Each structure stands twice: as C-alpha cells, then as structure tokens.
Structure 1
C-alpha cells in the first residue's frame, strides 16, 4: 500500500508471507472486470500507475494482458517492491512492468519530473484507500497524475462494513471494526467512493460507477484468507494481536477468534463476501 509515514505504521494487515499469498488471489479477472473493457480500448502502449500494488498479482496480470503498456506498481513497502521486481522474469517477462517504492502523496519520491505532470493514461488503485486515513488527498493526487486530456482514474474499494462471514463470526467482525476505528480508517469507504470522486472535482457525467463482490468461497480461498487471520492472531507482534491486547481481550477471547477462522476453513458451506464499489473517472470534457 502507499501512504505517509504515520499511515505506514498503522497498516494493520502487514506484509507477512501468508498475507501476501492471500492477496495473490486477486488478479485482473477477479478484481478488474469493471475496468478491462476500458483498458482494451486504449492504444496498446498506454501508461498505467497501480497505486498500493502490494504483492503485484493484479499488476503482473495487467502486464501479461497488455505487454506493450508501461505499467508501474507503487507500494510503500520496500521489501514487497524488491520481491515483485525480482519476480518480473518469472511472472511477466518481456513486458513493460516495473515496481517502485514510494509515497503516493509525495510523487517526487518515486516519479521523474516528466512522470509527475499528467503523464499516466490510467491511475488505478484496488482496496488501497480503505487502508489510508483521510484518503481524499490520495484520490486528489491520483487525479493530478492522470493525463488531463482524457486520462482515467479507476478505483475499486471494499466496503468492509458490508462483509459477511459464514459460519457467523460476530467476535471477529467486532475486533475488525475496532481496529479500523483505532487507526482512523473507515469500514464504509466503499459506499462513499462515488461521493469522494465528486469531492475531488470529477463531474457526475465523467464517472461510470458500478459494484461487485469480493469473495473467498472455494476451500483454497478460505484457507488463504482465514489462515492469514489465524497467523496474525498468533503473532504477538502483529497489529491485530496487539490491538486485541490493547482492547483487553483475554487469551480465551483470542482463541475464540482463531476458532472462528478454523471453523470457516473447515465448513463446506463457508464463505466470505464483501461488497466492492467501482468508479472509472475520465478527465477532460
């Protein structure tokens, strides 16, 4: 993800390997169905900035689909960026992809002067705004980095407040809400996405809005999602575990949270569903 130094400290999910593996379930097919037709309509050499790219699964997939495009994946985590760059020969050889570490609110930290002045045909983010307090400035910066005569700002945001886990895990939902609130984050970011696009100056006729569902349904998907949660709850240094301690959770209550995730993994009828909202914002007349 990309944010300022204070926000990096509050990135409650973290970059541990099993968490990155869970994020790697995300790709262009599962997450960018709303945007792919637009990308396919662009000249093949388009430029795209992927803000908060994490392990780069979406970014790599885009590079494979559009090998002539110049695609830059941005993340605040230097280790995950180094990991991604090392994986380019394996996951996207012969493409125009690269990864950079930097703060999206400080474009000079990762872009050349030429790239800072309306350079990108597309500036994209997926589930990044929800991880950043006061994220309206991030959306403003994305708009400034897009080409002003026809550039595109594209966002897909989870509305975590809408999340459904089955079998029911009310204790887990309560802790999640408390952690988001503690970090100045908003679990209802998704439903406010269109309002934020209007706030940064896009007209309603410049915005195409849609919605879809982020899901973990199959056994491998449940294993990756719930397994990463179990790992965070077992790790005394993770923000999830430290937050539980700060809120006064006993070891027995933490074990309830872990058992919720184990039950979800084991349940043939288990799944996780989360509403996602999407906007494609076009600059210019």
Structure 2
C-alpha cells in the first residue's frame, strides 16, 4: 500500500459519496456555481444527493441507458431538485468540451468501463485544470456474508462470474490508483483510500440485497447463470437464501471499497 493510501475504520453503509464530500464542499465554498458531472449515474439517487449539497451549482448525470435516465428525471422532479440535468452518453466518448466541470465523479461504474484507462482519460479531459475526479468502486473478491450463509457465498461467486462474463472487473476497487496513473495523473496528485463497508442493519440489508431474490429467478443475471450451468432449482434456492438473509437481524455482508480523489 502506498504512503498516501489510507484505510478508514469499518463503517455501515450509509453514504456512498462520503469520501468526496470534503472536496465537494471546499470547491463549492470557493465557487458556489461549480459544475459537477456524475458518470454512470443510473437511477440518479447519488446524483440528486450531490445536487442537494451544492444548490448553487449545476449537476449533470450521465448514463448509457436512456430508460433508466427517464426514471432519474422523475425522481429529481418529485423531489424538487432543479439544478440537475440528465443525459445519455458513453464515458469513452463524453459529449462535453475540454474543461467543462469542476468535479467529475463515478460510483460503482468504472468496473463496467470496457477500457479503464481511455475512460478515465475522458474524465480528466472534461475536468477543469485544478478540478478533481472522484472514483469509488467495490472489490467483489472481498465480499463475505455472515456465518451460516454459505449458499449466498456460492451465489456471490456466480455473481462475480456473470459480472466478468459481461466484461466487468470484479476487483475494480483495488485497480483505481493504477488506472488513474495510467491515464496520466501524477502520483502526488492522487489520494487513495480503502474502506470496509458493512451491511448489517434492516435498511442496509434491504438496500444491498433487496433486488436479488427477483434477479435470481428472472432477467439477465438468471439467464447468464443458467448458461454457466447453474440450475433453475439452484437459482430458486439462492432467491430464498437472499430473502432469509434480508430478514435475519443477525445477518451481515461486508466488502472492501476503494476510493480515489485525483487533482487534475
């Protein structure tokens, strides 16, 4: 581990962008009208929270899926968030001029980039000189359920295989520093941290596992798992195990995440 890479104490999953809040608020204090781009914004939940933190700024959420962006727009409108825009785009070819944003961030998206270095170079390109790129990724290889849930450990290995089969990177959390350096950022401009996140509350278990019972029985994950010779009966067992885990007050799941803040 490099000298400027720290490990924060274990914490319960509550705020996925906590690591970047000091940087965001510092830049907002210096420039209340700052611009922020959230790449791979998905349903927009994090993008909306970031927009709340900088009410005088302008936040843009970008995702390759047009369908999920429609949902994000509805969520923002219902919550009365007006300083936010959602648009479709590919991280490898961002539709913005050089130096468009004060902060560019991604959350659990780098793992899905087909060319990590090229994508991060694009993040850097659209960031203003002196601005920052903020990246956060999980390391799926460190995921572990509480004792007694060996079936979910097995399911998680299937999740990793499906993820990798679709071009994803299972240990993206530990590759962030290297990819940012490969993209041209000097080491002294990079602050890297690691954090162990624990999902052991009713809210945390629902947040992390709530969608998995359905995904184990229908949809793309289930189809890919069957192609990998996981039986439909086994997938049903996974679904039941997820439901049991979510409702078990003693159950938990932990995983290491990597975070990087790089000054451009």
TM bin, normalised by shorter chain, reads 0.7 to 0.9
Matched, 1:230 2:213: yes
Give the secondary-structure state (helix, strand or coil) at the position aligned to 1:107: coil
Alignment check: 8 A CA contact 1:159 1:191 kept: yes
Once the two structures are superposed, the pairs formed by residues 259-270 of structure 1 within 5 Å of their partners are: 259-270=240-251
Q: Deviations over 1:42-68 (max 9, x none)?
A: 111111100001111111111111101
Deviations 1:177-211 (A, max 9, x none): 21122122221111111111111111111011112
Instruction: Please identify, of 214-223 and 270-279, the stretch whose mean Cα deviation from structure 2 is larger.
Output: 214-223
Instruction: Identify the residue that residue 33 of structure 1 maps to in structure 2.
Output: 18
Number of residue pairs the alignment of both structures matches: 246
2:133 aligns with 153
Q: Find the counterpart in structure 1 of residue 145 from structure 2.
A: 165
The Cα offsets for residues 208-245 of structure 1, whole Å up to 9 and x where unpaired, read as 1112234432113313432311111121xx12111121
- Unaligned runs of at least 5 residues, structure 1: 1-25
Out of 43, 51, 63, the residue aligned to residue 75 of structure 1 is: 63
Higher fraction of strand: 2
Alpha-carbon distance in 1 for matches of 2:193, 2:217? 37
Deviates more, 1:29-38 or 1:138-147: 29-38
**1:266 deviation in Å?**
2.5
TM-score by length of 1: 0.81
Determine whether 1:136 maps to 2:121: no
C-alpha separation in 2, matches of 1:33 and 1:223:
20
Equivalent in the alignment of 2:181: 198
User: Residue 196 of structure 2: SS of its match in structure 1?
Assistant: strand
1:52 aligned to 2:52? no
TM-score (norm 2): 0.87
Extract structure 1 runs of 4+ deviating beyond 4 A. Answer: none
For the pair 1:210 / 2:198, whether they are aligned, the reply is no
Residue 62 (1) aligns with residue 47 (2): no
2:60/2:86 contact within 8 Å kept? yes
Distance of 1:66 and 1:219 partners within structure 2:
30
